[in-house]
Structure 1
Amino acid sequence: MSSGQVIRCKAAVAREAGKPLVIEEVEVAPPQKMEVRLKIHFTSLCHTDVYFWEAKGQHPLFPRILGHEAGGIVESVGEGVTELKPGDKVLPIFTGECGECRHCKSEESNMCDLLRINTDRGVMINDGKTRFSKDGQPIYHFLGTSTFSEYTVVHSGCVAKINPDAPLDKVCVLSCGISTGMGATLNVAKPKKGMSVAIFGLGAVGLAAAEGARIAGASRIIGIDLNPSRAKEAMKFGVTEFVNPKDHDKPIHEVIAAMTDGGVDRSVECTGNVKAMISAFECVHDL
């Protein structure tokens, strides 16, 4: 019986910026008040993990266990946790919800006052301490999830209970990439049936954004990417036309405007590149 006890398990620890992760045996403390300890079954790699591992442009915090896109099973729960129990199949969520603040109660926002994204925080909210350690030395958390570990401890508001029949090796990407792209389309861009939508970048987030446009009933979904090999796969997610900026001698927003009689109805930028952001803005038609 591991409930209430320290668990020793393997984790991929980032010891220094840009240096290879080290598979180590770490100690994972029991969950405290409003916390849950999870056994991670599958975790995927997001570029955000790479970005903070490289520590370029942000405050470096090491040693640290990265990872935020995963699927697992609840191993034990801490004091006050009532909506989750051992054995529940769950996804850790880096944008948590306390359920009580003005943002959680609003239909317009999910930026929880308590559990919103904080990339600098490497400790638990309850007591300002880590649940990871090795030889008595703390190992910091990442995005409140730290899924590059066989076991992790998260705030109960950063856990989504899912259908027990869901395959964890597939649904683990719902923790970040899929929900990010699809959510941006369905909850922010909100295209109406018959509208045209441009998707900039056809990685996991972009494909999910395209799928969101397809679900919404968009008539034309134009995918833009510099990698021509992504075109065929994108069609499976609703993209109707593929455009590679390298194939044109004029700005891509002008190309899209010419294709759509003045511009698309909505655009979703999924690369994080500033030039792409500008193009995504400029390719939308005037009202």
Structure 2
Amino acid sequence: MLNRCELGAVKLTFLQVIRCKAAVAWVAGKPLSIEEVEVAPPKAHEIRIKIVATGVCHTDLAYLCETSKKKKPRALPLVLGHEGAGVVESVGPGVTKVSPGDKVIPLFLPQCGECECCRSPKTNLCTKNWENLELGVLADGTSRISCRGQQMYQFMGMSTFSEYTVVGDDNVTKICAEAPLDRVCLLGCGVATGYGAPLNTGKVEPGSTCAVFGLGAVGLATVFGCKTAGAKRIIAVDINQDKSEIAKSSGATEYVNPIDYSKPIQEVLVELTGGGVDYSFECVGNVDVMRAALESCRPAFGTCVIVGWTDKADMSVSPDDILMGRTLKGTYFGGWKSVESVPRLVEKYMSGKLPIDQLITHTLTLEQVNEAFQLMTSGQSIRTVIRM
């Protein structure tokens, strides 16, 4: 009689390669190309997902455009996308957490539950297969997506700009069957990251004063997180005047545009608050803005949290800014332990306690993914969702 693993291997032999569409990055900094790709069946502890919807995150664009500027060039070609939601199509041997037909959100941050970080309440990071995920491959060092006979790298082990993808079973979480996938997909990155930054990483206290730099989806979710934490004063900072109203509807008490002032924005905030804010959040991914966010904090006990991502340049910090008592912290995925936390965030959205709908300004098709990038860079969108 066959054991369970052997039965799983027998079932796997009947799974076929799936041919579908994906947006492929062949060259750094160039538009993505819509191609027919082949998605191989899942191997042991892997899950093949039919992607229903995916958000277009600024990190996707930054990764594509900054590839040529890194000291160590990234691997190409690759399929971008890391903010998706879909339905399990098939599973490989050893998978017990999900079954075909389940609604899921793939997660660029794994949670194996076994490594030192997963066992610690001090962090949400997970070390399992981390180096491979950063390189764009799965646990065995290869990808499941290919095009024109060439292996495609999978962005952060995800590649949600593909109608089908394969991820490790520690990089996926099952969500409630009623959840609208074209909304909760944003909990795979942007909304979860921003919302968690004040709650988990900054640990904003009731009655405090906060400043949020950058009012994209991440920044607006950060504003709402500050409101949820009980901040009394939330100053939203952005150079796009059109973001002022949605910032206020998300919970900001004030909007400040750096363009309106002749002095550095950190000096403006220090004056407005009589010494600096208690908490600041950088949600842009710009080292100059990071420095401004730190310097806007109150000496002695101000806390600055870096939320935005970039690796294009180094950030310089004056020792005095730290020696005088300020705290500089970073957050990854908002401090949430991914597999266990995302389903709870979905439930919060379903109960009307986590606004996502207002952040989605455009809905496009996969063929329009380059248009989504253009909307982002021109400041016309907050979040674009691609429906497959």
Shorter-chain TM-score category? Answer: over 0.9
1:226 equivalent among 229, 239, 263: 239
Residue identity in the other structure for 2:19: R
Equivalence map 1:34-183=2 (5 Å):
34-54=45-65, 55-58=67-70, 59-116=73-130, 120-125=134-139, 127-183=140-196
Per mean C-alpha deviation after superposition, the further-off stretch among 80-89 and 135-144 is 135-144
1:278 aligns with 2:291: yes
Where has structure 1 moved over 4 Å in runs of 4 or more? 117-120
8 Å Cα contact 1:94-1:117 kept in structure 2: no
Return the offset for 1:263: 1.2
Equivalence map 1:241-252=2 (5 Å):
241-252=254-265
Using the alignment, how far apart are the partners of 2:161 and 2:242 within structure 1?
30
**Aligned-partner SS, 1:91:** strand
Per mean C-alpha deviation after superposition, the further-off stretch among 132-141 and 243-252 is 132-141
Task: Map Cα deviations across residues 91-140 of structure 1 (whole Å, 9 max, x no partner).
Answer: 11111111100101111112211144766512211x22211123432122
1:264 aligns with 2:277: yes
Residue identity in the other structure for 2:68: K
Task: Map Cα deviations across residues 15-53 of structure 1 (whole Å, 9 max, x no partner).
Answer: 112222221111111111111100000012111111222
Residue identity in the other structure for 1:270: C
Using the alignment, how far apart are the partners of 1:68 and 1:101 within structure 2?
23
Task: Map Cα deviations across residues 222-256 of structure 1 (whole Å, 9 max, x no partner).
Answer: 00111111101111111110011111122212211
Task: Map Cα deviations across residues 147-180 of structure 1 (whole Å, 9 max, x no partner).
Answer: 0110000011111211211111111111111111
Q: Percent identity?
A: 52
Return the offset for 1:71: 0.9
Gaps of 5+ in 2: 1-10, 301-388
Using the alignment, how far apart are the partners of 2:129 and 2:223 within structure 1?
28
Per mean C-alpha deviation after superposition, the further-off stretch among 55-64 and 271-280 is 55-64
Residue identity in the other structure for 2:69: G
2:29 equivalent among 2, 6, 18: 18
**Pair 118,190 (structure 1): closer, same or farther in 2 beyond 3 Å:** farther
Task: Map Cα deviations across residues 192-227 of structure 1 (whole Å, 9 max, x no partner).
Answer: 111111101111110011010011011000001111
The alignment covers a number of residue pairs equal to 286
Gaps of 5+ in 1: none
Residue identity in the other structure for 2:208: M
**Pair 212,116 (structure 1): closer, same or farther in 2 beyond 3 Å:** farther
8 Å Cα contact 1:74-1:85 kept in structure 2: yes
**Pair 62,35 (structure 1): closer, same or farther in 2 beyond 3 Å:** same
Using the alignment, how far apart are the partners of 2:57 and 2:36 within structure 1?
23
Using the alignment, how far apart are the partners of 1:149 and 1:257 within structure 2?
46
TM-score normalised to structure 1 length? 0.95
TM-score normalised to structure 2 length? 0.71
Using the alignment, how far apart are the partners of 2:63 and 2:202 within structure 1?
28
2:44 equivalent among 33, 47, 58: 33
Return the offset for 1:84: 0.8
